[in-house]
Amino acid sequence: MSQLLAVDVSRAEPLYFSSPADDVVVKSGDVCIIKTGRHTQLGRVVGPVKPCAAEAAGDAEISTILRLATEQDLERHRENADFEKRAVEVVLDCVQECQLVMKLVRVRYTLDRAKAIVYFTAEQRVDFRALVRQLAYRLRVRIEMRQIGPRDEVRELGALGCCGLVTCCCSFLHNFEPVSMRMAKWQNLSLVPKDLSGVCGRLKCCIRYEAAVYKELMTTMPPLGAMVETPTRGKGTVRRHGSLNGTVTVELDQDGSWIELPCADVKVAMPAPAPVATAGDCQGRQDPVQEEPAPVVGAPDVPAELPAATPPAGAKRTSRRRRRSTAKVTPS
């Protein structure tokens, strides 16, 4: 089999792994026609697929690059944009009639106009069976509903980031990688949610770009909270890392002042204490310690391992009034 190529069809969809047909020669940046399932779509070749990505794909469906796009194909693709605008109005009307809680993002036609793909977002699961029947009747095409997330919504609509440039997902980022708050801590970034959130409301994808470098640099530095020995000022506690400069900020024990020193000039005297789990820590939450009740004065010594006495099955419980009557002493 020939080398696999990655083809970008739509922003809201992952890259298609495609194999060129016989006598078809394409290169990166070419606009081509690919066959996905029973339909044809217009896409742009991104580049060859790495061997590791091809192995990870496994038994995924491989599309076929039929040919390079012609001028007639490009004209039909531009005509599809007009069909998509009219389809958006139809979808909005049908959604209102069906009283569905969903947000329409875009409607996209395949190149052969045999199928319309409806992209939408919703907080909960939506039963759109009645909606599909109405859309198929009014648009006279096959309907496919795809629920996407907030990141895919921004990538489909386009946006500008806080840096003033087009967001990464709209320019060059094709696959979303997981981003965590721990990556922001490695880089000493502000942990305020509004500073770390992107246009989509999730953590910025750019936080991951340099996280591996900071993580590697931190392995050569004393951990935060560790007791270190300084060359001339005695002992202190590590309070801050300067990963790129290779320095640490130490709080001195003698006067409480903070000084910045190279990592090579300090020596760890005592490792950092283990972190204590708090009530709001989801990763290190511990069950509360159950204290033993204080012993009652005058009570008999009963081993704590013995369970409480329970009446045998079928035994009748004596009422409180009857117990009181039996406890009275009748005068002679």
Is residue 176 very low, low, confident or very high in pLDDT (cuts 50, 70, 90)?
confident
- 167 and 144 share one domain: no
Q: Please check whether residue 50 is in contact with residue 121, taking contact to mean a CB–CB distance below 8 angstroms.
A: no
Greatest mean pLDDT among 19-28, 71-80, 214-223, 272-281 lies in 71-80
CA separation for the pair 43, 31 (Å, rounded) = 6
Asked if residue 306 has pLDDT above 50, the reply is: no
pLDDT score of 95 more than 50 = yes
Shared-domain flag, residues 84 and 141: yes
Give the mean pLDDT of 126-137.
91
17 vs 325, higher pLDDT: 17
**What would you report as the CA-atom Rg of the chain, rounded to the nearest whole angstrom?**
34
What pLDDT shows up at residue 297? 37
Q: Please indicate, yes or no, if residue 18 is contained in any of the structural domains.
A: yes
Residue 93's pLDDT is what? Answer: 93
Range of the domain at 109: 75-148
Which pLDDT band, with edges at 50, 70 and 90, does 39 fall under? confident
End-to-end CA distance of the chain: 111
321 within domain boundaries? no
Domain count of the fold of the chain: 4
120 and 140 assigned to the same domain: yes
pLDDT computed for residue 224 by the predictor: 85
Whether the Cβ atoms of residue 59 and residue 20 lie closer than 8 Å to each other = no
Same domain, 62 and 79: no
Q: Is residue 306 part of a domain?
A: no
Q: Domain ends where: 105, 128, 148?
A: 148
Residue 302 domain flag: no
State how far the alpha carbon of 227 is from the alpha carbons of 219, 231, 272, 317, in Å. Answer: 16, 13, 7, 65
Percent of the chain with pLDDT over 70: 77
Check whether 328 has a pLDDT greater than 80.
Answer: no
Cβ pair 107, 84 in contact under 8 A: yes
Residue 323 in domain: no
Q: What is the pTM of this model?
A: 0.66
Least confident of 62-71, 160-169, 215-224, 307-316: 307-316
9-18, 133-142, 145-154, 271-280 — which is least confidently predicted? 271-280
CATH code, domain with 234: 2.30.30.140
pLDDT at 261: 86
